[in-house]
Amino acid sequence: MGQISSISMPTPDILGLDACTSIGSLNKQDEMALDLQKATVQAALDETVGALKRCALISKVQTGDSLTLLCSNTVQVQASGSDFAAILDDGAVVTWPAGSPGDSTDVPTQLKIVQQISVCGDGAFAAILDDGSVVTWGGDENIYRQPKNMKNVQQIQASHLAFSAILDNGSVVTWGARNYGGDCRAAQGRLENVQHIQASHRAFAAILDDGSVVTWGSAAFGADSSAVRTQLKNVQQIQASRAAFAAILDDGSVVTWGHAEFGADSSAVQTQLKNVQQIQASEHAFAAILDDGSVVTWGNDFFGADSSAVQSQLKNVQQIQASHRAFAAILGDGFVVTWGDADFGADSSTVQTQLKTSRFKLLTRLLLPYSKTDLNTLPSGSNSPDAIDTIAALLEENASKSVPLPLFNAWAALADQAVRVGIDYRTLGLGWSHPNTRRQYRLGQHASISCPESRARAEQSRSFLHDVLMEALNKEAAYGAASMQSRLEEALAVAFVHEIGAPLDLKAEICQLATL
C-alpha cells in the first residue's frame, strides 16, 4: 500500500465512464508516468505557448483510456485504442498520430473553442464547441452519420460504437451503430428533461429531472431496465460496467440491472449498500464508497469484486478508479490501496517508492504556494530549485530517520482540513448552507468551502502551518537539540491549537514547548 494525491484510470469504452477524469495537479517540472493497463503515456507541457509536447511511449493502450492534465494551461487528453486528442487552453484541438483513424486533419478549422471531447471505441471522436455545435471525425463514416443541424449540445456520452447527446432543452440525439445505442427511437417519447447519460459497452441510461431513468440500446448490455423500473426513483448517479448499470438513489441505496455476470446481481451485498456516495466499475464488477469511507464490492471476483484481502485497509476512502480487472482507492491520508487482477494494476508494489514520495509532496503542496521565496527558510544544503520538491525531499529524509509515519499523516490531515477543505465558520455563521454529509465535505467542492471568505481563511491557515512546520524542520530553530520527532510533535500541537481558535505567539510558543 502506498500513497498519492489523485489518480485516474478511466475506460469509457468498457466502463461507460465520463469523458475526462483528473489525475492531479502537475507543474511543468513534473514528469507523469502511469501504468494504464499495461500502457505508459508520457506527456510534457510547454507552458509558454500552451502547446502539448507529445512524447508517448505506448504499448497496448486500451480503447477509451483517458486522462486530464491540470496545470497553468489546462489540457484535456482523450484516447481511443490508437489515437489521442488534446484540448489546449485556447480551445484548439491537437490529434496524433498523423494518419490514424482519429486524425483531425480534415476538420482543423472547425475545432475552435472546444469544450468537451468524447470518444468511441474505434477512434470516432465528437467535440462540443462553445456555441453548442458538434464536430465529429474519425471512425467509420458509414456508422457515424451525425444528425444535421444539431445545436445547443450540453453533454455527449459514448458507448463502444455510438454517441448520445443531451441538448439544452433536455432532449436527446443519438447517432452511430443501432445495436450499440445509436438508435433511441423506441425510447424517444420518454427522453425529456434529461440531466445526465451514462453508457455501458452497448447501451445508454439517462437520468431525467424527476429522478427516473430511461434506457436504450442492446438489452443484454443493460438497455432492458424493466425489472427494476419501479425502483428507479430519485436516482442521483449511474455507473456502468461493460454490460450492467448501478444507480445510487437519493437515500443512498443502490439499484442494479443488466447482465448478472457483469455486476447486475448485487443481492449478496444489498444489506451493506447503505449511504452510498460514489460507485466505480471495472469490466465485470462494481465498488461503492459509503458515507463512512468504507467500500463494498460485488460482481465477478476475478475482476475486482473480491476485496476481502484489503478490506481492513479500506477506511476513509476518498476516490476509486478502475482498470478492466482491478481497482485503486485513495484514502483520506493519501495512501493508495489496490486489489483485483495483478496483471491489470492490482499489484502496486513496484511503485511504492513513487507513492511514498507523493505523501510528502501532498503535504508540501498544501502548505506552500508555488513560490521559491520559502527557500530562504530551508536548512542549508538544500539545492533543489523548486520549493515543493525541496521541502518534500526534506520531509522524506526525516521520515527515514525514524520519524513515525503516523506523525506525517497527522500533519497532512491537519493541513488538508485547514487548507483544502477549510471553512470560515466564524465569518459565515451557522446559518450558511454547509456540507451535510462527510462525502460533500471531503470532496472540497461545496460552496461554503470555495467561497471567498473560506478561501481567505484557508490561505491564513496555509501560511501559519507552513511557518510552524518550517520552524520545526529548520535545524537552527529554537528547539535546540530536541529530536526531529519531538520537534514535529510539538509543532503539530501548536498548529492544532491555533486552528481550533486559540491565539498563540508562534515563536514564543514553540520555544516554550521545547523546554517542557
DSSP secondary structure letter of residue 376: G
Regions of the chain with pLDDT less than 50: 1-74, 369-387, 476-478, 480-481, 506-507, 510-511, 513-516
- pLDDT at 438 (0 to 100): 67
- pLDDT of res. 364: 63
Model-level pTM greater than 0.85?
Answer: no
Helix or strand or coil: residue 46? Answer: strand
Alpha helix stretches (DSSP H) within 24-128: none
Classified as helix, coil or strand, 298 is: strand
Query: Which residue bears the cell 423500473?
Result: 229
Q: Which residue has the cell 484481502?
A: 309
Q: Which residues pair with 96 in a beta bridge?
A: 84
Residue 511: other Cβ atoms inside 10 A = 15
Evaluate whether 263 touches 241 at the Cβ level (below 8 Å): yes
Q: Three-state DSSP class for 74?
A: coil
The CATH label, of 3.30.70.890, 2.130.10.30, 3.40.1170.10, 2.30.110.10, for the domain at 74-355 is 2.130.10.30
pLDDT at 146 (0 to 100): 81
Any idea what the Cα angle at residue 291 is, between residues 287 and 294, rounded to 5°? 50
Q: What is the spatial distance between Cα 342 and Cα 325, in angstroms, rounded to a whole number?
A: 9
Task: Collect all residues with Cβ–Cβ distance below 8 Å to 472 and sequence separation of at least 6.
Answer: 479, 487, 488, 490, 491, 510
Q: Torsion-angle region of residue 320: left (phi > 0), alpha (psi -120 to 50) or beta?
A: beta
Parse the chain into domains and list their residue ranges: 74-355, 403-514
Q: C-alpha dihedral over 172, 120, 445, 278, to 10 degrees?
A: 90
pLDDT of residue 390: 55
pLDDT at 102: 73
Backbone torsions φ then ψ of 35, nearest 5 degrees: -90, 100
Question: What is the predicted pLDDT for the residue at 377?
Answer: 42
